[in-house]
C-alpha cells in the first residue's frame, strides 16, 4: 500500500485538491494501484489550528509516504505575521526537510487554449517543454554570502557553487524525464563567463554517456531566454541550476498564458515527490467554486508518472484534460475577453475530467 499525503492548504487549495484527489482515486482504481490517503494541514490552516505552518508530525508522515500532493498556501489573513511563522514558511520547510532537489515545471500549450498566450499562434503551436531546475544548491544557498563594508563602500555578495554530485543527480533526473518525452535535453549555462557552468558542462556530458538514446545540446542562458519567446517549440527538457531555472521556469510558464493550467513536481531521490499547482491560493475567488482545478489535476498526472511509475494513468489524465477543453468547457480564468461562454465551476470541471477519463 502506497501512502499519499494530501496537504490542501489555504484559499482555493482545498477546492482544487478535492478534484485532484477524485481523479487520482479513479485512475489508481482503474490501474490497480493500492493507495492510502492521509490529509493534513499546512500553511495558514495549520497556523490557525496548531500555531505553526507545518508540524513535525506532518513532515514525518510525508517522509513515510510515496508522494505528497499540495494545494496552495497563504492569504491576506496571515500577511501581517512575522516572516518565520507565515504560511509560506511551511512550504520552504517541507522542501528542505524532504530533500527535494529537483524542481520540474512543464509548460505545454493545449491547442484549445493557444489563444491565451501573448505570443503569436504560430509561435505557440507545439510548445511542450519541461524545465528541470536544481532546487537546493547554487547561488541561493552558497557560502560565503552577506553584506559588508570595505574602504567605506557597502558591498553585497553571494556564491554560486555546485559540486559534481549535485550536478550529476539533477542531470540524471533530466535525462530520465527526457526518456518519458522526446529524448532531448538542453543544458542551459553561462560557461563563457562562469567557472561553475564549465563544471556543469563537463558533468552533464559525463552523465549523458549513460543515456545514448537521449540527445544533448548546450545553450547559453541569454540566448535560451530569447529562443523561449522566438521558437519555444524546439525545446524538450531544459536542465539548469537554481538561479537560471528560477527565471526560465517562470518565463516558460508565462508563454503558455494559463496560470490555472500549470502543474509542478519537486523530487527527492528514490522516486519520492511533492506535486503542486504553480498557482497560489487565489484568495479573491476562494470558497466560490470558481477555481480551475486543472493544474492540480495535471499535477496528479506527474505524480502517477514519476512517483507511481504509471505512465498510462498519466497519459489518461492528460488526454482527459485535453478532451474536456476541446469540448469547450472552461473555468472563468480560461475564458478570454470578448468570448461568450458560460464558466463551469471547480467541481463541475472535476466531473468533466472524470467523465472523460478513458481507463481500463
Ligand atoms: P495567485 O496565483 O494565488 O493568484 C493570481 C491570480 O490568478 C488571481 O487573480 C487568482 O484568482 C488567479 N488564479 C490563480 N490560480 C487560479 C486557479 N486555479 N483558478 C482560477 N484562477 C486562478 O497569486 P497571488 O494572488 O499573487 O497570491 C495569493 C496568495 O497565494 C498569496 O498569499 C501568496 O503568497 C500565495 N502563493 C502561494 C503559492 C504556493 O502555495 N505555492 C504560490 C504563489 C502564491
Q: pLDDT per residue over 274-294, tens digit each?
A: 999 999 999 999 999 999 999
Q: What is the pLDDT of residues 217-258, one digit of tens each?
A: 999 999 999 999 999 999 999 999 999 999 999 999 888 878
Asked whether 281 lines ligand 1 (CB < 6 A), one says: yes
User: Does the active-site annotation cover 202?
Assistant: no
Distances (CA, A) of 244 to 10, 71, 218, 222, 232: 29, 25, 14, 10, 16
CA distance 286 to 93: 24
Please give the model's pTM, rounded to 2 decimal places: 0.93
Query: How confident is the model at residue 84, as a pLDDT?
Result: 75
Query: How confident is the model at residue 111, as a pLDDT?
Result: 83
Backbone angles phi, psi at 241, to 5 degrees: -80, 180
Catalytic residue among 10, 236, 246, 333: 246
Which grid cell sits at 115?
489563444
Tell me the CA–centroid distance for residue 240 and ligand 1, in Å: 26
* Ligand 1 atom index nearest CA of 13: 40
Nearest to 72 by CA among 247, 325, 293, 253: 293
Question: Whose C-alpha lies nearest to ligand 1, atom 5?
Answer: 282
Q: Where in the chain is the domain with CATH 3.40.718.10?
A: 1-112+258-360, 128-255
Q: What is the pLDDT of residues 303-341, one digit of tens each?
A: 999 999 999 999 999 999 999 999 999 999 999 888 888
Mutate to test the pocket of ligand 1, among 281, 329, 330, 346 (most ligand atoms within 8 A of CB): 281
Query: How confident is the model at residue 254, as a pLDDT?
Result: 87
Specify the CATH superfamily of domain 1-112+258-360: Isopropylmalate Dehydrogenase (3.40.718.10)
Question: Whose C-alpha lies nearest to ligand 1, atom 38?
Answer: 280
Query: How confident is the model at residue 281, as a pLDDT?
Result: 97
Catalytic residue among 10, 89, 162, 190: 190
User: Does the active-site annotation cover 162?
Assistant: no
Supply angle C-alpha 79, 84, 87, rounded to 5.
45
Q: Are 248 and 221 in contact (CB under 8 A)?
A: yes
Asked whether 259 lines ligand 1 (CB < 6 A), one says: yes
* Ligand 1 atom index nearest CA of 79: 32
Q: Are 22 and 57 in contact (CB under 8 A)?
A: no
Asked whether 296 lines ligand 1 (CB < 6 A), one says: no
Q: Are 65 and 98 in contact (CB under 8 A)?
A: no
For domain 128-255, give its CATH number from 3.40.718.10, 3.30.70.1400, 3.40.190.10, 3.65.10.10: 3.40.718.10
Instruction: Give the mean pLDDT of the chain.
Output: 95
| pLDDT over threshold 90, residue 93 | no
Supply angle C-alpha 35, 279, 291, rounded to 5.
80
Catalytic residue among 56, 163, 202, 250: 250
Judge residue 126's burial from the number of C-beta atoms within 10 Å of its C-beta, 0-12 exposed, 13-18 middle, 19 or more buried: middle
Which grid cell sits at 352?
468533466
Catalytic residue among 163, 195, 222, 231: 222
User: Does the active-site annotation cover 190?
Assistant: yes
Amino acid at each position: 500500500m502506497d501512502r499519499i499525503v494530501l496537504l490542501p492548504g489555504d484559499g482555493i487549495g482545498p477546492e482544487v485538491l478535492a478534484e485532484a484527489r477524485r481523479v487520482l482515486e479513479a485512475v489508481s482504481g482503474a490501474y490497480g494501484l493500492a493507495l492510502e490517503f492521509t490529509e493534513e494541514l499546512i500553511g495558514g490552516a495549520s497556523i490557525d489550528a496548531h500555531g505553526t505552518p507545518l508540524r513535525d508530525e506532518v513532515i514525518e508522515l510525508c517522509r513515510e509516504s510515496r508522494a505528497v500532493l499540495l494545494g496552495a498556501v497563504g492569504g491576506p489573513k496571515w500577511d501581517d505575521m512575522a516572516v518565520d511563522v507565515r504560511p509560506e514558511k511551511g512550504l520552504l520547510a517541507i522542501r528542505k526537510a524532504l530533500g527535494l532537489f529537483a524542481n520540474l515545471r512543464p509548460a505545454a500549450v493545449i491547442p484549445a487554449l493557444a489563444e491565451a498566450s501573448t505570443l503569436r499562434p504560430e509561435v505557440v503551436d507545439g510548445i511542450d517543454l519541461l524545465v528541470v531546475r536544481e532546487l537546493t544548491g547554487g547561488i541561493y544557498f552558497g557560502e560565503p554570502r552577506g553584506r559588508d563594508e570595505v574602504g567605506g563602500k557597502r558591498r553585497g555578495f553571494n556564491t554560486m557553487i555546485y559540486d559534481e554530485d549535485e550536478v550529476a543527480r539533477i542531470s540524471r533526473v533530466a535525462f530520465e524525464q527526457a526518456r518519458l518525452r522526446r529524448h532531448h535535453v538542453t543544458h542551459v549555462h553561462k560557461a563563457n563567463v562562469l567557472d561553475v557552468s564549465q563544471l556543469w558542462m563537463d558533468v552533464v556530458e559525463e552523465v549523458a554517456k549513460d543515456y545514448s538514446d537521449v540527445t544533448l545540446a548546450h545553450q547559453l542562458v541569454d540566448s535560451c531566454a530569447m529562443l523561449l519567446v522566438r521558437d519555444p517549440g524546439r525545446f524538450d527538457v531544459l536542465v539548469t541550476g537554481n538561479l537560471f531555472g528560477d527565471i526560465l521556469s517562470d518565463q516558460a510558464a508565462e508563454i503558455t498564458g494559463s496560470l490555472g493550467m500549470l502543474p509542478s513536481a519537486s523530487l527527492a531521490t528514490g522516486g519520492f515527490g511533492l506535486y503542486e499547482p504553480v498557482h497560489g491560493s487565489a484568495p479573491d475567488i476562494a470558497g466560490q467554486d470558481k477555481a480551475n482545478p486543472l493544474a492540480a489535476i495535471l499535477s496528479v498526472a506527474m505524480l502517477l508518472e514519476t512517483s507511481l511509475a504509471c505512465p498510462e494513468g498519466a497519459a489518461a489524465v492528460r488526454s482527459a484534460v485535453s478532451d474536456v477543453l476541446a469540448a469547450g468547457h472552461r473555468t472563468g480564468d480560461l475564458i478570454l475577453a470578448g468570448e461568450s461562454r458560460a464558466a463551469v465551476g471547480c467541481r463541475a470541471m472535476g466531473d468533466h475530467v472524470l467523465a472523460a477519463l478513458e481507463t481500463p
